[in-house]
A and B are shown apart, each in its own frame.
Chain A
Amino acid sequence: MKLLATTCTALVLSTGSVWAEGELNIYNWSDYIAEDTIEKFTAETGISVNYDVYDTNEVLEAKMLTGSSGYDLVVPSLEFMARQAQAGVFAKIDKAALSNYGNLDQDILDIVAENDPDNTFGVPYMMYSTGIGYDVDAVASRIDADKIGSWDMLFDPETVAKLADCGVALLDSPTEIVPAALNYLGLDPNSEDTGDLEKATELLLSVRPHVRYFHSSQYINDLANGDICISVGYSGDVLQARARAEEAGQGVKVAYIIPAEGGRVGFDMLAIPDDAPNPDNALTFINFFLQPRISADITNFVFYANPVTAAEEFVLDEVRNDPGIYPPAEIRAKFFSLKPHGSRYDRSLTRAWTTIKTGQ
Chain B
Amino acid sequence: MSAVPESRSRKPGRNSARAPGSRLIGAALSRLGFSGRSLVIAIPGVWLLLFFLLPLLVVAKISLSEAAIARPPYLPLWEWSEGFLNVRLNLGNYLFLLDDPLYIAAYVESVRIAAISTLITLMIGYPMAYLIARSAPETRNILLMLVILPFWTSFLLRVYAWIGFLKANGIINNFLMSLGIINDPLVMLQTDFAVYVGIVYTYLPFMILPLYANLVKLDISLFEASADLGARPLTTFFTVTLPLSVNGIIAGCMLVFIPAVGEFVIPALLGGPDTLMIGRVLWDEFFSNRDWPIASAVAIVMLFVLLIPIMLLRRVQAADEEVEG
**Which residues of A are at the interface with B, using a C-beta cutoff of 8 A?**
56, 58-59, 61-62, 64-67, 83, 86-89, 167, 172, 174, 211-214, 225-227, 343, 346-347, 350-351, 353-354, 357-360
Contact = CB atoms under 8 A, between A and B. Distances in A.
A354 B290 contact: no
Nearest to A57: B287
A64 B71 CA distance: 8
Given A212-B190, A351-B100, A360-B105, A58 B72 contact: no
B101 interface: yes
A61 B169 CA distance: 36
Contact of B274 (A58, A343, A359): A359
A357 B69 CA distance: 27
Name, among B281, B290, B291, the residue most crowded by chain A CB atoms within 10 Å (CB to CB).
B290
B72 A67 contact: yes
B69 to A, nearest CB: 5
B302 to A, nearest CB: 17
A99 B275 CA distance: 52
Nearest to A167: B168
B288 A350 contact: yes
A62 B101 CA distance: 27
B289 A360 contact: no
Contacts of A350: 284, 288-289
B102 interface: yes
Given A65-B73, A346-B288, A346-B290, 7 more contacts: A64-B71, A65-B71, A89-B71, A227-B167, A347-B291, A351-B100, A354-B102
Given A65-B73, A86-B69, A227-B169, A347 B287 contact: no
B273 A358 contact: yes
B286 interface: yes
Name, among B73, B169, B281, the residue most crowded by chain A CB atoms within 10 Å (CB to CB).
B73
B70 interface: yes
Nearest to A174: B288
Contacts of B287: 56, 58-59, 61-62
Contacts of B209: none
Given A225-B169, A351-B100, A88 B71 contact: yes
Contacts of A87: 69-71, 73
B36 interface: no
Contacts of A86: 69
A62 B286 contact: yes
Nearest to A208: B273
Interface of B: 67, 69-73, 100-102, 105-106, 167-169, 190, 272-276, 281, 284, 286-291
Nearest to A275: B71
B273 A213 contact: yes
B289 A65 contact: no
Given A89-B71, A354-B284, A213 B290 contact: no
A259 B281 CA distance: 32
A214 B273 contact: yes
Contacts of B70: 65, 87-88
Contact of A67 (B69, B71, B274, B291): B71
B272 A213 contact: yes
A308 B63 CA distance: 46
Name, among A83, A174, A346, the residue most crowded by chain B CB atoms within 10 Å (CB to CB).
A346
A227 B168 contact: yes
Contacts of A214: 273
A90 to B, nearest CB: 11
Given A343-B69, A354-B284, A360 B102 contact: yes
The list of the 8 closest CB pairs from A to B, nearest first, reads A58-B287, A357-B273, A350-B288, A358-B274, A65-B73, A214-B273, A358-B276, A87-B69
Name, among B101, B272, B289, the residue most crowded by chain A CB atoms within 10 Å (CB to CB).
B289
B274 A357 contact: yes
A60 B14 CA distance: 58
B190 A213 contact: yes
Contacts of A66: 71-72
A225 B289 CA distance: 34
B169 A360 contact: no
A61 B69 CA distance: 11
Contacts of A353: 288
A346 B289 contact: yes
A35 B190 CA distance: 34
A227 B164 CA distance: 12
A346 B101 CA distance: 19
A83 B67 CA distance: 14
B191 to A, nearest CB: 11
Contacts of A359: 274
Contacts of A62: 286-287, 290
Given A87-B73, A357-B273, A61 B100 contact: no
A4 B289 CA distance: 47
A360 B276 contact: yes
A83 B69 contact: yes
Given A87-B73, A227-B168, A351-B100, A343 B289 contact: yes
Contacts of A89: 71
Contacts of A360: 101-102, 105-106, 276
A180 B159 CA distance: 33
Nearest to B169: A227
B208 to A, nearest CB: 32
B96 to A, nearest CB: 10
Contacts of A167: 168
Contacts of A172: 273
A209 to B, nearest CB: 11
Nearest to B187: A212
A218 B167 CA distance: 12
A61 B272 CA distance: 26
A120 B276 CA distance: 41
Contacts of B272: 213
Contacts of B289: 343, 346-347, 350
A52 to B, nearest CB: 17
Given A65-B71, A350-B284, A343 B168 contact: no
Contacts of B106: 360
A215 to B, nearest CB: 9
